[in-house]
Amino acid sequence: MPPKILAMRAFLTCLMIFTVFAHAQIRDLTSLDWSPDGQHLLLAIGGQIFLAKAPRLADLMPLYPEMWVEWARFASADWFVFVSPIEGGFALWRGFLDGSAPELLYQSPYLIRWPTVSADGTKVAFVEDWEKLVLLDLGTGWAEVVLAGAWPKAVPEFTPTAQGLIFSGLWPQANEPSWEIFYLDLGSHNILQLTSDQFFDWCPRSSPDGRWIAFVSNRGGSSDIWVLSLGGGEPFPVTQDPWEDAFPCWSPEGGQVGYASLRPEGWQFILAGTY
């Protein structure tokens, strides 16, 4: 197909997607992140990436509409990471807020999910084939499996110093297996289980000072945002409401947690104080 026709098709796709989400409720939200400078929100909606001006989910600008994406995370105020399927497998990409051509970082014949970037922007962690936690060094391109084993792992998150990874895992040794929160020390490869219960604990996010973890849990009866000290103790609720609350993300200074809340009018971005 001639390049001009391809370009026009991409432009029309962008226009249609923008029109739909500018005038309709946001429903099919699969990820949300808040930029480190607090200026933007990054969303995956219906398989597409959108950028919004924080703190409102409005005036959504599509990015890379030709690529199917269900998860995207900021690395800095200028770039982010995401995964899309390619012929023969999956690819991890570096995307840019100005819409510049994405940069291929890694590809695999296996499923890649939930990429996240260290605070210094030098490493990416992700789950490959559900069972492997992989650490990619962006300077050398070297990918290392830091945790394997036949139990599912999901949604990794770096601690601010990048000395450890927090993640959700379906621990097989429990009497009634459930998704729990774990900490992996990247130096010793020792694992510390942070939650141990029958509830669904998901999407952990570290505070900027590394002391607290915000996560999603149904331990209160519905999907709410909870906060847990990395030093131990019982988690406490940030939200207690009938709505579906998801995708916690900390404000740059760490005093607030932003999250998505599915209300009758669609997904909303909400801010809450924590500690």
Q: How far apart are alpha carbons 259 and 110 in whole angstroms?
A: 30
Residue 69 lies in a domain: yes
Place of tokens 């982010």: 80
Residue 234 lies in a domain: no
pLDDT at 173: 65
What's the pLDDT tens digit per position in 253-266? Answer: 999 999 999 999 99
Residue 29 lies in a domain: yes
The residue type of 140 is T
> What are the strands, taking DSSP E only, across 68-118?
72-74, 79-86, 89-96, 103-108, 112-117
Residue 177 lies in a domain: no
pLDDT at 174: 59
pLDDT at 27: 87
Range of the domain at 13: 1-109
- CA distances, 15 to each of 8, 28, 53 (Å): 10, 18, 18
Q: Number of structural domains, the chain?
A: 1
Place of tokens 């005093």: 255
Give me the residues paired with residue 82 across strands: 72, 93
CATH value at residue 50: 2.120.10.30
> Do residues 68 and 60 touch, judged by C-beta distance below 8 A?
no
What's the pLDDT tens digit per position in 89-131? Answer: 999 999 999 999 999 999 999 999 999 999 999 999 999 999 9
pTM of this prediction?
0.89
Residue 168 lies in a domain: no
Structure token digits, residue 203 = 């999407």
How much of the chain exceeds pLDDT 90, in percent? 82
CB neighbour list of residue 100: distance below 8 Å, 6 or more residues apart: none
What's the pLDDT tens digit per position in 31-63? Answer: 999 999 999 999 999 999 999 999 999 899 999
Residue 4 has pLDDT above 60, yes or no: no
Residue 262 lies in a domain: no
